[in-house]
């Protein structure tokens, strides 16, 4: 089973990138199907930068998998903001 989630990042020229939200895209028993869902999430969502992630759930519950992915998106957004600040010094 695979979980699909995606993040929406908005970018302000002064403030830099901000994590606007993390959204549940779905679950799928097949990786190919999960990739298709992730692709639809990015193409159907408007505004900002949309970043999908597909994660094999393994022994994780849906809650554990979604919490893990949310943390990954938050770390990514923090790194993007740090890079923005470094470039604008």
Q: What local confidence, expressed as pLDDT, does residue 87 receive?
A: 76
Is a pLDDT exceeding 90 seen at residue 86?
A: no
Among residues 55, 80, 78, 50, the alpha carbon closest in space to that of 68 is found at 55
Rg (CA), the chain: 14
Q: Helices (DSSP H) in the chain: which residue ranges? A: 31-44, 62-87
The pLDDT tens digits of the residues spanning 29-61 come to 999 999 999 999 999 888 888 999 999 998 999
Q: What local confidence, expressed as pLDDT, does residue 26 receive?
A: 95
Is a pLDDT exceeding 90 seen at residue 2?
A: yes
- Model confidence at 64, in pLDDT bands (50, 70, 90)? very high
């Amino acid at each position: 089973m695979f979980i699909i989630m995606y993040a929406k990042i908005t970018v302000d020229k002064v403030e830099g990138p901000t994590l606007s939200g993390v959204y549940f895209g779905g679950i799928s028993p097949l990786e190919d199907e999960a990739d298709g869902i992730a692709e639809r999430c990015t193409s159907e969502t408007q505004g900002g930068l949309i970043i999908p992630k597909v994660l094999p759930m393994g022994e994780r519950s849906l809650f554990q998998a979604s919490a893990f992915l949310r943390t990954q998106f938050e770390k990514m957004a923090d790194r993007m903001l740090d890079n923005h600040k470094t470039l604008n010094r």
